[in-house]
Amino acid sequence: MRVLIVEDDPGIARQIEVTLREAGYAIDLAFDGEEGHFLGDTEPYDVIILDLGLPGIGGLNVLERWRNDGRTMPVLILSARDTWREKVTGLRTGADDYLAKPFEMDELIARVEALVRRDAGHGSPILKCGGVKLDTTSQKAFLGNTLLTLTAMEYRLLSYLMHHQEKVISKTELTEHIYEYNDDRDSNIIEVMISRLRNKIGADYIKTYRGRGYQLTADDDE
């Protein structure tokens, strides 16, 4: 799962970056409204964290441009001004949630998790597909009662598949949602990671549709 942080305070931005990366997310950073708008307009994100007090283009203007252009990704607003009028304005401009500074990182993570789940149509923090279980709060995956040992990239891949189970997902889409902006995006690595996941959770859980992509499903019927 991939998150864009648009925050002009480098200290806050880096703190959020480290915290969310440790929680299993791919993270991109932007430090002003121009760069933030560009990335949000051209890259697919599962959540965007948007500060309002940005240099250049203000956060509300950035959000308004995204929504006017049909960008529907969940947006969590950050602001040092905790007033009900500003919250109402942000939500009516198209924000999905609002968090006032200063805030606890645990609350930020919980809000990001909730936005990701809601956008994918899940209510529970525990995602299940047959005997595979993903706890989005602890970033742990299980096969039955056995804890799975996953690399960071394998976790991102499984998390995206679990959030979108039963959907056939192309290699391009997987690549766009598990790699960061400056990563060397090699779609061939997806095949390798799919193979590794099959070895860990069982081959029947991930179906390949040639020319279309992969589907995570508990149905092992051909």
Q: pLDDT digit string (tens) for 90-146?
A: 899 999 999 999 999 999 999 999 999 999 999 999 999 999 999 999 999 999 999
Structure token pair of residue 176: 């766009």
For the stretch 59-76, pLDDT in tens is 999 999 999 999 999 999
User: What's the pLDDT band for 220 if we cut at 50, 70, 90?
Assistant: low
pLDDT value of residue 214: 96
DSSP state of 203: G
- Average confidence (pLDDT) over 3-24: 96
d(CA 151, CA 120): 23
For residue 165, the Cα-to-chain-centroid distance in whole angstroms is: 15
| Angstrom distances, CA of residue 69 to CA of 31, 83, 133, 152, 169 | 22, 28, 36, 33, 24
Structure token pair of residue 75: 């947006």
- Average confidence (pLDDT) over 47-69: 95
217 neighbors 207 (Cβ within 8 angstroms): yes
Mean pLDDT over each residue of the chain, to the nearest integer: 93
7 neighbors 31 (Cβ within 8 angstroms): yes
d(CA 168, CA 186): 20
Type of residue at 87: K
> What percentage of the chain has pLDDT greater than the value 70?
97
CATH assignment of 126-216, among 3.30.1490.20, 3.30.460.10, 1.10.10.10, 3.40.50.2000: 1.10.10.10
Mode of pairing for the β-strands spanning 213-216 and 206-209: antiparallel
**Domains of the chain: which residue ranges?**
2-120, 126-216
Type of residue at 195: S
CATH assignment of 2-120, among 3.20.20.70, 3.40.50.300, 3.40.50.620, 3.40.50.2300: 3.40.50.2300
15 neighbors 50 (Cβ within 8 angstroms): no
> What percentage of the chain has pLDDT greater than the value 90?
86
Higher pLDDT among residues 184 and 76, named by residue? 76
φ, ψ dihedrals at 124, nearest 5°:
-90, 145
4 neighbors 181 (Cβ within 8 angstroms): no
User: What's the pLDDT band for 222 if we cut at 50, 70, 90?
Assistant: very low
- The pTM is what? 0.90
pLDDT value of residue 83: 75
